[in-house]
Amino acid sequence: MPDVSIEDEDRPFQHYTLKHRLVAWTSVNLFDNVTYTVHHGLLKGMKRKGGLGWLPSVFAPTIETAEHKFWSNLNLAGMTVYDVGAFHGLLALLFASRAKTVVCFEPNDRNYKRLMENLTLNGIKNVQVRKFGVGSRQETLKMAGNPLMPGGSSVDSKLVDDMVKSGQQTVVQEISVITLDEEIPRAQLPPPDFIKIDIEGWELEALRGARRTLETKKPAVFLEMHGDTIREKKRKVSEIVAFLWEINYHRILHIESGASITPENSTLAMEGHLYCQSA
């Protein structure tokens, strides 16, 4: 990555381009209640409500990203998968078709409703949904997000404040947060073999609240990196990698570059995804 100035490192990202916003507006306002069979991508042949997956592939060609290749090749046979930040269930549907059991965590009211609809449409029976956020302690937090981009809702207090103060349309709700270490025995959940975490910058909190589970059960972990600025991205990935290294997760792969990540080169992975395994 080219050198950037201190000013550039602190400049907020425009997470959603104009194209993203136009697609989101079209999806939400014109096709949100349309039920269809997906024509392309990882969910080809499955049913879905909302989104634009009904378009023929000639109009919406699948981009074979490194993340897409990872999911295409991942073997989950016989496993219990935790989907933390399940959104509309797009990955949960894939997990359900390959794994023994899937446990989803999705606290956002709108996302939870659509997740349940998509599971029902496909007659999925091996998925359990928990309407909780996941963090480092049990608490109640405010979640805020743009109604056009519900997948980007966050409980990060600074981001929540910024969204509320921005004057843009923002949906705010209170959510209940649990820790995986407490929820697994309390709800008698099967321990995870694989955990996917994508919760808009709250990933480290979720890992901290799952420390005992990670140390004893040693599930593989897939993480999406987040941060509102370059400086925040560097800080968060550094803290995540340091935590993982501390609990003996020394096999950390940056999906996009193929690089092995250590505390010394963690900033290489400040964008993209990490696949992490216990040594």
Where residue 126 falls (left for φ over 0; alpha for ψ -120 to 50; beta otherwise) is alpha
pLDDT tier, 225 (very low <50, low <70, confident <90, very high otherwise): very high
What sign does the CA torsion over 182, 76, 126, 54 have?
Answer: positive
pLDDT tier, 146 (very low <50, low <70, confident <90, very high otherwise): confident
Q: Where does residue 1 rank: exposed (0-12), middle (13-18), buried (19+ CB within 10 A)? A: exposed
Confidence at residue 59, expressed as pLDDT on a 0 to 100 scale = 52
CA atoms within 13 A on the CB side of 117: 16
CA-to-CA dists, residue 237 to 66, 124, 240, 254, angstroms: 19, 34, 5, 11
The structural domains of the chain, with segments of one domain joined by +, span 6-277
The more confidently predicted of residues 22 and 77 is: 77
**Could you give the 3-state DSSP secondary structure of residue 47?**
strand
What CATH number should be reported for the domain whose range is 6-277? 3.40.50.150
CB neighbour burial string for 91-128, b if at least 16 within 10 angstroms, e if fewer = bbbbbbbebebbbbbbbbebbbebbbbbbebbebeebe
Distance CA(50)–CA(168), nearest Å, equals 23
Distance CA(104)–CA(130), nearest Å, equals 6
Distance CA(149)–CA(163), nearest Å, equals 12
pLDDT tier, 207 (very low <50, low <70, confident <90, very high otherwise): very high
Confidence at residue 15, expressed as pLDDT on a 0 to 100 scale = 56
Give kind and range of the element (H or E) at residue 243. Answer: helix 230-246
pTM of this structure: 0.90
pLDDT tier, 123 (very low <50, low <70, confident <90, very high otherwise): very high
Distance CA(205)–CA(179), nearest Å, equals 9
The more confidently predicted of residues 251 and 145 is: 251
Q: Is 36 a residue whose pLDDT tops 90?
A: yes
Strands of the sheet with 133-134, listed across from one edge = 133-134, 171-178, 139-145
Confidence at residue 9, expressed as pLDDT on a 0 to 100 scale = 79
